Amino acid sequence: MDLIRLEKAGLYCPAGDFYIDPWQPVEKALVTHGHSDHARFGSKRYWAPKSAVGIIKHRLGESLAIQGCEYGQKLRFGDTWVSFHPAGHILGSSQIRVEHGENVWVMSGDYKRTPDPSCEPFEVVPCDTFISEATFALPIYCWEQGEVTAKKIFDWWQSDLSRPSLLFCYSLGKAQRVLAELTRFTDQAVYLHGATASLTDIYRQHGVNMLPTLSIADAPKNHSFKGDLILAPPSAHRSPWMKRFKEPQTAFASGWMQVRGARRRRGYEKGFVLSDHADWNELNATIEDTGAKQVFLTHGRTDALERFLKEKNKTVRLFQTHFEDEAD
């Protein structure tokens, strides 16, 4: 019998009577991280790592009934022991380890192995069954180190100081990683879209070292933004919000920029490959490192990874979840 199974409301553990990242309201929700496809409104009680609580409350409401837990802290749910472990995805992201007797399952949530100065580093958690995301599960996806990509972003920003430089990136996780990675090359302040600013403040409260930031809303009306770097969510691209910037150079930071033509289709002048998910090599290395005999795959290119793992004599199954690929 499976320790975790797929039900209408999400991934359910009968032995512990809780859900992991449910997409419908439930009594007890264990949350891997604060992105909106994993942390959803309406459940009665929530559990998450302490460093994720501020983000989750910001998105779901300050009155949310949520318990913050230390990484590695063992919690008793029914006949199971549960603990949260760093996933390296964004601040407060976690894998959830579920132990029932001698059987151990780990739900990865979204994760990456590439070093990231804005969040806790990934921890390998040995298990019998590993539930892994597969967002970028194709061999073409292979990431450079963040500092390499950050240098490319910095050089692009400095390449034309007669124009504003608008870098579009997801407001939770990606923007803060860019601000942290860029501290290696400059101490110049960066302007933030309002949707990004409030989340960046939460990262600062947790001691993440980032470039100083300014709110676009607080800039003088006659400010030209020439030579400035501005971070904004993709939803702001080609919106009326952009009218305040005269002839800006535009770029998008995302793992999807690895694919030829993706930047052009999305209408950006430049693309930077920067992902907060595991690449092909990291996915496969992690599955091996856990020692799992059985692997479940969720959202992404599950087809390619499933075939590859089965060729290596792994037992592979799929969970058709409501989790999304890399998105805002």
E-only strand ranges, 50-137: 66-69, 75-77, 80-86, 94-100, 103-107, 129-134
Question: In this predicted structure, what is the pLDDT of residue 263?
Answer: 64
Question: In this predicted structure, what is the pLDDT of residue 267?
Answer: 80
Separation between Cα atoms, residue 291 and residue 88, nearest integer Å: 19
Question: In this predicted structure, what is the pLDDT of residue 189?
Answer: 97
Cβ atoms of residues 11 and 319 within 8 Å:
yes
pLDDT in tens, the chain (328 residues): 899 999 999 999 999 999 999 999 999 999 999 999 999 999 999 999 999 999 999 999 999 999 999 999 999 999 999 999 999 999 999 999 999 999 999 999 999 999 999 999 999 999 999 999 999 999 999 999 999 999 999 999 999 999 999 999 999 999 999 999 999 999 999 999 999 999 999 999 999 999 999 999 889 988 999 999 999 999 999 888 998 999 999 999 999 999 877 666 678 999 999 999 999 999 999 999 999 999 999 988 899 999 999 999 999 999 988 887 665 4
In sequence order, the β-bridge partners of residue 166 are: 230, 250
Tell me the domains of the chain and their CATH numbers. Answer: 5-140+277-318 (3.60.15.10), 146-272 (3.40.50)
Separation between Cα atoms, residue 69 and residue 198, nearest integer Å: 23
| Residue in 231, 241, 153, 242 with CA at minimum distance from that of residue 196 | 231
Residue 228 DSSP label: -
Tokens of 230: 């501005």
Cβ atoms of residues 144 and 115 within 8 Å:
no
300 burial type by CB count under 10 A (0-12 exposed, 13-18 middle, 19+ buried): buried
Question: In this predicted structure, what is the pLDDT of residue 174?
Answer: 98
Pairs from 93-97 (Cβ < 8 Å, separation ≥ 24): 93/32, 93/33, 93/34, 93/49, 93/52, 93/119, 93/120, 94/32, 94/33, 94/48, 94/49, 94/52, 95/32, 95/123, 95/125, 96/20, 96/30, 96/32, 97/125, 97/127
Question: In this predicted structure, what is the pLDDT of residue 328?
Answer: 42
Sign of the torsion angle spanned by Cα atoms 204, 210, 211, 214: negative
Helix or strand holding residue 151 (H, E): helix 146-159
Separation between Cα atoms, residue 211 and residue 56, nearest integer Å: 23
